[in-house]
Every structure is written in C-alpha cells, then in structure tokens.
Amino acid sequence: MEIITLTTDIGWFYAAQMKAKILSINRDAKIVDITHDIHPQKIMEGAYVLYSSVIHFPEAIHIAVVDPGVGTERKPLIVECKNGYFVGPDNGILIPAASRLGIEKVYEITERKYMAAEISNTFHGRDIFSPVAAYLSLGVKPYEMGREITDYKNLDFEIVERENVISGKIMFIDRFGNMVTNIPDKFLKLEHGDWVKIKVSEKELEIKFLKSYGYAEKGEVLLTVSSSDFLEISCREGNASQMLEAEIEDDVEILAINNP
C-alpha cells in the first residue's frame, strides 16, 4: 500500500516535516496532500474534507491531523478499513470517513519502536502518525503497533428534525464562500425551483432550491446539493458566507415553504 494522504490544519511548513519523516522510513511512498488549510482546530471541517475525499482513492493510508488535544491523554489511533487505514488522534476526525469505507478494527498505537526517536508534546503528526503510516505502507500490521480498542470517540454529522424544520451545522466553507451543511440532500423532499427559508447566524432568508449555480441570477443566494451530496448554501458569483456573516460550525436551519 504505497499511497499516504495528508489532511491537516498545520500549514505547509509543518507538513513538509511530516513528509520528511514518512520518506525517511519509506522512500517509495506516494504522498498526496488533500489539504493543509483546514481552519485551526476545526475538527468537523477536517472530518468532512476527509469524508468527501477518501472514496476517490484506491487503497491508501490516510493521516488526519486536526489535533487540539495533542500532548494530552487522548489516544493515537489506527483505524483498519476494507480499503486502507486511517491514522490520527482519537477526537472523532477519522470516524466518518472510516465508516464510509467500512471500519473493521480500531487500534490504540502503543508500540514505541514505530514512533520517532524523540516525540514532541506538540507535534504528534510528525513524530507518531507519520512514522506509523510509513510502517503500515511497508506492510507492518496494526496489531503489531498497538492494542485493539472499542472505546474511541465518534463524530456524527448529526442533524435534528422538528416540525418540518431541519437543523444542522455548517461543516465546510470553500474559497468561493459556498457553505456545505451536514444535512444530506435526501432529508428535504424538494423540487428544483422550490422555495426554502434558511436561518444562518441569526439571519433569515428565503431562497430557491436550484440544480446548480448557473440557474441563479448573479448575486442571488441559493440552496443546492454539493458534490458530496450535502445541502449547500451558495451565491452565484458572490460569497454566501460573507453575505450571511457565517462561519464553520455555525448552526443552520432549513424549512421548506410554499411559493410566495
């Protein structure tokens, strides 16, 4: 298994050190940067990006580092799946993506010999997760690196339904200001052209549910389905997140309404 992906909030300088650690163990590793631009400490955003990306890869090892609990008692994990491994902190970031591929076993990393000679209290991405991923790519088995566990942290993309209102959160905002919610498209039975009422960061707006951005007028806010099949609030040739003063992990409510 040669492919190792990286999803982090640490920026490119620190990411280069992770790659150096991997290559010092396996020079034939094929490292793919998913992103190093997750907003700092935004675990839900990191989980969404990983969840959206992994199905497009062949067999691979996926490292995720959004780790506000680094240096504490939180466990370092390997999640074994049907189509690869996930390596990262026990804060829920790995679980949605791993569940999508099919979790088989989860291990707490305990074997010191598969870690860096010296371990920083603030950079387990370089000193624990990268070496472990490199050894996995060379064929070392997860059970050689630690013990199987069942008490790991989950992160559900949880939504709430009440009185025809669906409540969720903004998981991701892309560079265009499109806001991806954690609400799967199947939860609202809408036809293209239907009106909905949305509430984001205390702002309410009535907008149309449209097939794609091109069906809206320039500057019009719309509801559509993202490429990952979640409901997305967008603005054609504008920035919806700036218009609504919204941020990642803000609450969002969506209500289907009759045409005005």
Quick check: 259 pLDDT over 60? no
pLDDT tens digits for range 143-200 = 999 999 999 999 877 787 777 789 999 999 999 999 999 998 887 778 899 999 999 9
Q: How far is CA 69 from CA 61, 72, 91, 221, in A?
A: 22, 6, 8, 37
pLDDT tens digits for range 64-93 = 999 999 999 999 999 999 999 999 999 999
Q: Which CATH architecture has domain 160-257?
A: Beta Barrel (2.40)
pLDDT bucket at 251, cuts 50 / 70 / 90 = very high
- The pLDDT value recorded for residue 31 is 99
Domain limits, the chain: 3-149, 160-257
Quick check: 258 pLDDT over 80? no
Contacts of 144 (CB under 8 A, 6+ apart): 111, 114
- The pLDDT value recorded for residue 165 is 84
Cα gap 216→193, rounded to integer Å: 10
pLDDT tens digits for range 187-240 = 777 889 999 999 998 899 999 999 999 999 999 999 999 999 999 999 999 999
Quick check: 257 pLDDT over 60? yes
Q: Rounded to two decimals, what is the model's pTM?
A: 0.92
- The pLDDT value recorded for residue 86 is 99
pLDDT bucket at 41, cuts 50 / 70 / 90 = very high
pLDDT tens digits for range 15-30 = 999 999 999 999 999 9
- The pLDDT value recorded for residue 113 is 97
Give percent of the chain with pLDDT exceeding 90.
Answer: 88
pLDDT tens digits for range 113-140 = 999 999 999 999 999 999 999 999 999 9
Residue 5 in tokens: 């992906």
- The pLDDT value recorded for residue 156 is 76
Q: How far is CA 246 from CA 38, 44, 241, in A?
A: 16, 15, 5
Q: Which CATH class is domain 3-149?
A: alpha beta
